[in-house]
A and B are shown apart, each in its own frame.
Chain A
Amino acid sequence: MQELDTAGLGSVRVTRQSDTVVILEKDLATEQMVLAMGPQHPSTHGVLKLECLTDGEVITQAEPYLGYLHRCFEKCCENVDYPAVVPYTDRLDYLAGMNSEFAYAITVEKLLDIEIPRRVEFIRVIVAELNRIASHLVAIGTYGIDLGAFTPFLFCFRDREIILGLLEWASGARMLYNYIWVGGLAYDVPADFLKRVKEFVDYFRPKTVELCELLTKNEIFVKRTLGIGIMPADVAINYGWSGPMLRGSGVKWDLRRNDPYSIYPELDFKVPVPDGKDSVIGDCLSRHLVRAWEMDESLKIIEQCIDKMPSAEGFNSRSAIPKRIRPKAGEVYGRAENPRGELGFYIESDGKSTKPLRCKARSSCFVNLSAMKDLSMGQLIPDLVAIIGSIDIVLGEVDR
């Protein structure tokens, strides 16, 4: 399109006739408009409200308003015993219940300083990685919907149902499991569970390729995400980003590697970061790609765990669970790599009570979302949807 010199004309309305641009009107009166998006909006992934100041299609400022799902997690924790906090952690990040439980369990175990049977650790890693795949499937599927592709959503939910079926078989619930307890597991996995997981891994591996074909090779999808919402690595670190968001900006930081917990040091997996070939480092497409690659890595981890799994002979999943959890006085900050980043728990115990004195959840989405103002500055309104989708927020964790 031909360049047009509009200096000194103010805002103009133009039209295109064959190959020339004609100015229809000049010195148009413009005003900034406030556009409220949410709390009921199909692409805010829950009850987030964004108040955007727009100049035409361009967003000059977007201010997120949260708290529409503030469920008083921390107050509830202070009023129940340590084991009873586990169901509440499920409801933090309800797409990845196992991972949240895992983070809470290792934090309290750090405070209690107890030894966990090896088989428990392996089962925990398997269910957590399965849940990570399920969570990424929702993230990818709904991201497709946000950008106008409905098919990937159906594909993702089809495969997610299989994972939910497996986890339901082990724990008894589809979404909010209460399976990983402090010191152990609610139950051992059922007989043949590992065989079925192996079957799922074999089934799912080609499906990741299929998803790739559907989205990352889809021209519309790439056009809408490539180079949108770029976040440089140093700013991302200063904002406290973690998980796929931080790795999307090119920082190779994964708590499973860099602050290892459980049996992750024994496992062989890569920490995928974008190389800048397919995407601009730090843009929405990079973050999407990191999620897609992570599913492959999770499959690898699950396979290794199945191979190395200690036998179930004489195994009691509740053998290490303390009768009464009353940690010595002290504080602990423990964390684990959730599908959305670092989920940390700060727990303070007074040494006398069976209830935590203070239990704070450091939520990854909350921190990731705080960069929204910076990310959306000067973007177009449709790109705002692409940016929110790429942050992959779960409002249960943002508002707690």
Chain B
Amino acid sequence: MEEGKVISQSLQESAAAYSIIHEKFGSAISALDANETMPFFEVIDTSQWTEIALFMRDHPKLKFNYMACLTGVDYPAEEKLGIICNFESLALFNHKLAVKVKCARDGGSIPSVACVWHTANWHEREAYDMFGMLFTGHPELKRILCPDDWVGYPLRKDYKVQDQYHGIKVPY
């Protein structure tokens, strides 16, 4: 963190919450990116993601009981796909944290956290639908918004729309 910069109250609390997670998991997670708009850390050892999630939800000083959002992102430069989850502790604490998990672009997989937060269930299906990463351990991983027989993953940066769908012309 730069010196002389005023750190807001909520950022301090988020940093404190991060240090509890860091204490437990050490090098499995990256350092905290303490920006003002969205403090986040990245899970480096993705196989531990479900455990980290459970720890974040159940630790008495963390209690991240509310998953606000789960976003899938495409990083074509790094040849990776990723998810970003925004957590907070609803009605208990003031800290907020975002977590990034990344996987390989082709056939990569991320452990599912649908068993930890119900919110993740549909959001992970949506991320799969739009980006094509797999979620291991998800109860029913299938497309949610696009039809089941849709070709390609629409929100990837290199997506090319199909010409025909069931005999109907798709592009304008």
Contacts and interface: CB of A to CB of B under 8 A. Distances in A.
A74 B155 contact: yes
B130 interface: yes
A119 interface: no
A358 B73 contact: yes
Interface string A386-400: 000000000000011
B118 A346 contact: no
Interface string B80-92: 0000101000110
Contacts of A370: 118-119, 121-122
A251 B69 contact: no
B158 to A, nearest CB: 13
A279 B114 CA distance: 31
A331 interface: yes
A75 B98 CA distance: 23
Contacts of A399: 145
For A238, A239, A240, A370, the residue with the greatest tally of chain B CB atoms inside 10 Å of its CB is A240
A344 B38 contact: no
A67 B91 contact: no
Contacts of A348: 73
Interface string A104-119: 0000001100000000
B118 A240 contact: yes
Interface in A335-372: 335, 342, 344, 346, 348, 358, 360, 362, 366-367, 370-371
Interface residues of B, number: 31
B37 interface: yes
A344 B86 contact: yes
B35 A344 contact: no
A111 B154 contact: no
Nearest to A357: B73
Question: How many A residues touch the partner, as a band?
Answer: 35 or more
Contacts of B122: 366-367, 370
Contacts of B90: 237, 251, 253
Contact of B68 (A66, A235, A332, A344): A344
B68 A331 contact: no
A362 B154 contact: no
A360 B118 contact: no
B65 A238 contact: yes
Contact of A110 (B37, B117, B155): B37
B35 A251 contact: no
A70 B129 CA distance: 12
A239 B119 contact: yes
Contacts of B67: 240
Contact of A331 (B84, B91, B146): B84
Contact of B37 (A237, A331, A342, A371): A331
Contacts of A111: 37
Nearest to A240: B119
Contacts of A78: 155
B68 A252 contact: no
Given A110-B37, A238-B117, A333-B38, A66 B144 contact: yes
Given A330-B37, A333-B38, A367-B122, A342 B68 contact: yes
Contacts of B40: 331
B66 interface: yes
A18 to B, nearest CB: 49
Nearest to A399: B145
Contacts of A239: 118-119
Given A331-B37, A367-B122, A237 B73 contact: no
Nearest to A331: B38
B84 A346 contact: yes
A159 B63 CA distance: 43
B68 A240 contact: yes
A74 B126 CA distance: 12
Interface in B34-88: 35, 37-38, 40, 65-69, 71-74, 84, 86
B147 interface: yes
Pick the 3 closest A-B CB pairs, nearest first.
A240-B119, A67-B145, A362-B69
Interface of A: 66-67, 70, 72, 74-75, 78, 110-111, 234-235, 237-240, 251-253, 258, 330-333, 335, 342, 344, 346, 348, 358, 360, 362, 366-367, 370-371, 399-400
6 contacts: A66-B145, A72-B154, A238-B119, A239-B118, A346-B71, A370-B118
Given A251-B91, A332-B38, 13 more contacts: A66-B145, A72-B154, A74-B155, A111-B37, A235-B118, A237-B91, A238-B117, A330-B38, A331-B98, A335-B68, A348-B73, A360-B69, A370-B119
